[in-house]
Amino acid sequence: MRSFEGQFSDNRPLKRTREEKVRLLAELKETIRTMKPHTSPELRTSIAGKIKELEADLAAPPPPPRERRVPSHQQDQFGNGPRGPRRTPRPPRDF
């Protein structure tokens, strides 16, 4: 049973840094190189597919550094002024 939507146990891809991807690519290449001849062809094709996917991902240019990115809340340029209070404060209670 789920406690809330979007928790880590959901079926969603892991976000890896570039260094982690390079390390994983090296590990997968080592794994496929050291496989025994009787290893199932499905496992070989699965690992080869992951290697190709990681190589394509690493061949793409890296995203710009955070200080040059435009924050998502500033992209639409709507309502950039100071915000007012979300709700009006309650009047004091009289006893």
pLDDT (tens digit per residue) in 14-64: 788 889 999 999 999 999 999 999 999 999 999 999 999 999 999 988 777
Separation of alpha carbons 83 and 73, rounded Å: 13
Residue 79 resides in a domain: no
Residue 7 resides in a domain: no
What would you report as the CA-atom Rg of the chain, rounded to the nearest whole angstrom? 25
Cβ–Cβ < 8 Å for 28, 13: no
pLDDT at 75 over 60: no
**Ranges 50-54, 66-70, 83-87, most confident:** 50-54
Range of the domain at 29: 18-61
Residue 9 resides in a domain: no
Count other Cβ atoms within 10 Å, centred on residue 51: 16
Residue 67 resides in a domain: no
Number of domains in the chain: 1
Residue 54 resides in a domain: yes
Residue 53 resides in a domain: yes
